[in-house]
Amino acid sequence: MEQSLIFFGLLAAPAAGAAISLVPRDGVEVVASLLSSGAAVLISLFLLASGTSGAFGFFYSDGLTRIMAITISSVFFTSVAYSRFYVKRINEPLIRFRWYYSLLDLFAFTMLLAITVNDLGFVWIAIEATTVTSALLVALERERTSVEAAWRYTLIVSAGLVASLLSVIFVYFSQGTLLISDLAGASIRAGLLLPLAVGFALVGYGTKAGIAPMHAWLPDAHSEAPSPVSAMFSGILLPTSIYALVRTFNLLQGLPSFGAMQNLLIGFGVFTALLAAVIMGYQRNYKRMLAYSSMENMGIILVGFALGGVGAIGAAIQIVAHAFAKSSAFYGAGNILVSYESKSMAEVQGVATRLKYSGYLFALSCLAVTGAPPFGVFVGEFMILAQAMSAGNITLVLLLAAVYTYGFIGLNRQSVRMIFGQSSMGPQADGELNKPAPAVPQRENWVSVAIPLANLVVALMVGVYMSPLLLQAAQAVVP
Amino acid sequence: MILTALYLQSQTFVDPTIRAAAVQSLLLAGLFVVLFLESGDGDLLYLAAITAGVRGILIPAVMLYQVRRFKHSLRENGTGQRVPSLVIVGVILVIGGYALFKTALLPTLSNPATSVPFVLVLLSFLLIVTRRNALTQMTGFLEEENAVLYAGALIAPSIPLLIEFAVVLDILGVVLVGVILSATRDVLRTLEEPELEQLKG
């Protein structure tokens, strides 16, 4: 019962924030959302420290739950804090700001629900609900492109998720229960339907996680959503879908069909990562570039979970490190967008001169998300590679090495050009052609710098000093 | 059910597509009633009422209202010429899908009727990926939802509350879609405008 209260508290915080945000008084929505997200962080930290594991009525917790809870609540908190700076630039929002904050809280609530419930049916419902709560957030800026992106997101993801409902139906038909705690035991009944359920989960949850070739919505939604929402999409929504997929996949542990489905997941993971790593280097829009980087990371994380062992631990670490580093990158991108009013890399040059802190933070965040040592993503990627090596899968090792290298060069080459390059597109001085416009340093809002800096520091800490609590939770991810 | 799905594929105008999706939902509601009479499971009756009320009447009515805002019959841009070939692809999907079902799923599910929702899922995917108009894509989504709920009722009718929750959430999803659609009329003519070049790559 006491443990159940932890989960009730974790869900009650954002739910209360969502309700209070609707009170029609100026500023209430910001305070309510900040307090509720802060409370969610504290409760998640308590959950992590307590090492709570097992089934507690409606709820279920293990290492993966604890990892996801702290990641979701932290990025939720920083996105709420960053929103205060970011959304005020939007002149004609699609919805009132109090609705924006309320939906942001509900979005976090649905993700926290998905990772704490002890029922695969409710996991599906919660993930479907994340689409409902986030669709309007994507279209907040009310531009034609953002409305179109929201439409594509809603339609493609909903269509995909209906396929994962088939997965849930197959699990129930073959096992007679949807309770994760009952399914975690050795009582799993083998048969054709369970691997089929994993296949449908791969299509359904994979669509939401941005697994290729079902990823068509992802670059649009990430690039058109407001930056704090993009950070939540990339850092926590995609891993929440991976969580649901992994929960279904783990049902196959020890069954004859495990190897075939493991190879299927590895195949899709590598294909996604490789495709994203190649496309990333050719982007003209820096937010789309970051979106493809998220796809690359999700592909690698999927490979890690499919490999199991050290690979699964690496995947869990990468989820945490990527969430903090990528949210930092999206906040940095938000600062750049506010200053330049353009998402085009051709029009955004010499950022380090104009926005000194945001420029350097963006460049460092790009290094962090592409696995540069000593950031946490590097540790995760290295562990996944090590697992592939110990499994003796040379082809996979070579493919992963290619992904890491391609992704690193592709993203950082573009970001360095943006941050440290000189503009030839700006207004020309003295009528001379091809002379770069002189970059004028701008004063930066300290909140807009402090938040991405804090997240980047956490991403670094995951790499250089792994908290024993985090490591313990990551180790408990291995089935 | 499959005939209505093929009829959906064969239409280039949006309004008959919406009406066909409504008819399909009403047919499915009738099937749920028949299954209820056979099994006595009250959930099926509840599901029949939601299917008829929401996907058979309410959502099509909202979509037809959107179409009427244009004051003329809305037609798919550029898809018209491809419709005959899409119908042929649809027929091939029906035959191929049934063959696949018979080989891979029938031995486990042991209910040949389950092949119908399986084929419907494939046809709904075809409708979604080949059409450009948001309302036609929405009918594809309705068809897909019909198919999966049909499959759920046939395969695991005792599955706890899941079907009801799914329907409730889809209502919410469709309401949101309605808000998005009403936010801008232009979104109904998608993908061919120069400013949407930004969403390429």
Looking at residues A416-421, what average pLDDT do you find? 92
Using alpha carbons only, give the angle B71, B73, B75 rounded to the nearest 5 degrees.
Answer: 130
> B100 at the A interface (CB within 8 A)?
no
pLDDT of residue B191: 41
pLDDT for the residue A135: 87
Choice among A177-181, B132-136, B162-166 with the minimum mean pLDDT: B162-166
Which residues constitute the domain of residue A396? 257-479
Nearest Cβ partner of A158 from B109, B141, B162? B141
Interface contact A121-B128, CB threshold 8 A: no
**In Å, what is the CA distance from A210 to each residue of A81, A295, A300, A308, B25?**
26, 6, 12, 21, 31
Q: What pLDDT band is residue A188 in, cutting at 50, 70 and 90?
A: confident
The strand pairing partners of B13, in sequence order, are: B75
Mutating which of B55, B110, B130, B148 best tests the A interface, going by the most A Cβ atoms within 10 A? B148
Q: Residue A191: list chain B partners with CB under 8 A.
A: 108
Judge: B184–A162 Cβ closer than 8 Å, yes or no: no
Q: What is the pLDDT of residue B59?
A: 85
pLDDT at position B188, please? 47
* Digit-coded pLDDT (tens) for A20-36: 999 999 899 999 999 99
E strand or H helix that includes residue A60: strand A59-61
State the nearest Cα–Cα gap between B127 and chain A, in angstroms. Answer: 11
Distance of CA A181 to the CA centre of its chain: 26
Test mutation, B63, B184, B190, chain A, max A CBs within 10 A: B184
Residue B1 has pLDDT above 60, yes or no: yes
Task: Tell me the per-residue pLDDT of B38-53, one tens digit each, with 9 for 90 and over.
Answer: 888 888 888 888 888 8
Q: What is the pLDDT of residue A8?
A: 95
Residue B166's pLDDT band, with cuts at 50, 70 and 90, is low
Mean pLDDT value of segment A415-437:
64
Return the half-sphere exposure (C-beta side, CA atoms, 13 A cut-off) of residue A255: 23
Region A444-458: mean pLDDT is: 95
How many C-beta atoms lie closer than 10 Å to residue A397's C-beta? 16
* Cβ-contact A301, A377 below 8 angstroms: no
Tell me the C-alpha distance between A422 and A400, whole Å. Answer: 34
- What the block records as the tokens of A8 is 């009730």
Higher pLDDT, A201 or B149: A201
SS3 A56: strand
Distance CA A153, CA B172 (A): 15
Q: Is the pLDDT of residue B162 over 50?
A: yes
Give the pLDDT band of residue A438 (cuts 50, 70, 90).
low
Return the higher-pLDDT residue of B187 and A443. A443
* Residue A327 in tokens: 């949210």
Nearest residue of A to residue B117, measured between CA atoms: A166
A29-53 in b/e form (b: 16+ CB < 10 A) is bbebbbebbbbbbebbbebbeeebe
Q: How far is CA B1 from CA A131, B20, B73, B113, in A?
A: 28, 10, 25, 12
Contact call for A155 and B137, based on CB within 8 A: yes
- The per-residue pLDDT for B190 is 47
Check A147 against B148: CB less than 8 A apart. Answer: no
For residue B42, what are its two tokens? 């009250």
What are the chain B neighbours of A122 within 8 Å (beta carbons)? 165
Chain B contacts of A132, Cβ < 8 Å?
169, 172-173, 176
Q: What is the rounded distance in angstroms from the CA atom of residue B74 to the CA atom of residue B79? A: 12
Whether A131 sits inside 8 A of B173 (CB atoms) is: yes
Write the pLDDT tens digit of every residue in A131-163. 889 988 998 888 878 888 888 888 888 888 888
Contact assignment for B190 to A148 by CB distance below 8 Å: yes
Q: What is the DSSP string of A199-226?
A: HHHHHHHHHHHT-TTS-THHHHHHHHS-
Above 50 in pLDDT, residue A256? yes
pLDDT digits (tens, 9 = 90+) for A190-199: 778 899 999 9
Of residues A131, A152, A193, nearest to B108 (C-beta): A193
Instruction: Choose the weakest-confidence range: A274-278, A456-460, B116-120.
Output: B116-120
* Beta bridge mates, A344: A285
Which of B128, B134, B159 comes nearest A169 by C-beta? Answer: B159
In whole angstroms, give the CA distance from residue A347 to residue A335.
15
What is the reported pLDDT for A1? 59
Query: Is the CB of B126 inside 8 Å of chain A's CB atoms?
Result: no
Q: For residue range A218-252, list pLDDT tens digits in order.
A: 999 999 999 999 999 999 999 999 999 999 999 99
Q: pLDDT tens across A80-136, in order? A: 999 999 998 888 888 899 999 999 999 999 999 999 999 998 999 899 889 889 988
Confidence class of residue B192 from pLDDT cuts 50, 70 and 90? very low
Instruction: Kindly report, residue by residue over B169-186, the tens digit of the pLDDT.
Output: 566 557 656 655 655 444
> Which DSSP helix (H) or strand (E) runs through A54?
strand A54-56
What CA–CA distances, in Å, run from A174 to A170, A245, B25?
6, 17, 28
CB–CB of A158 and B187 under 8 A? no
Inter-chain touch A121–B161, beta carbons under 8 Å = yes
Report if residue A324 sits inside a domain: yes
Question: Residue B108: its chain A contacts at CB < 8 A?
Answer: 191-193
Q: Specify the pTM.
A: 0.91
A393 inside domain: yes
Q: Tell me which chain A residue has its CA closest to the CA of residue B156.
A: A173
Q: What is the pLDDT of residue A391?
A: 94
Residue A201 CA, distance from chain mean position: 18
Contact B160, B41 (CB under 8 A): no
Tell me the pLDDT of chain A averaged across its residues: 92
Return the DSSP state at A187. -
Q: How confident is the model at residue B54 (pLDDT cuts 50, 70, 90)?
A: confident
Q: What six digits make up the tokens of A330? A: 């999206």
Total count of domains within chain A: 1
Q: Is the pLDDT reported for residue A77 higher than 90?
A: yes
Candidates A146, A155, A283: best to mutate against B (most CBs of B within 10 A) is: A155
Q: What is the pLDDT of residue B113?
A: 82
Residue A269 included in any domain: yes
Which helix (H) or strand (E) covers residue A86, if one does? Answer: helix A63-86
Q: Is A277 domain-assigned?
A: yes
Residue among B108, B173, B191 whose CB faces A191 most closely: B108
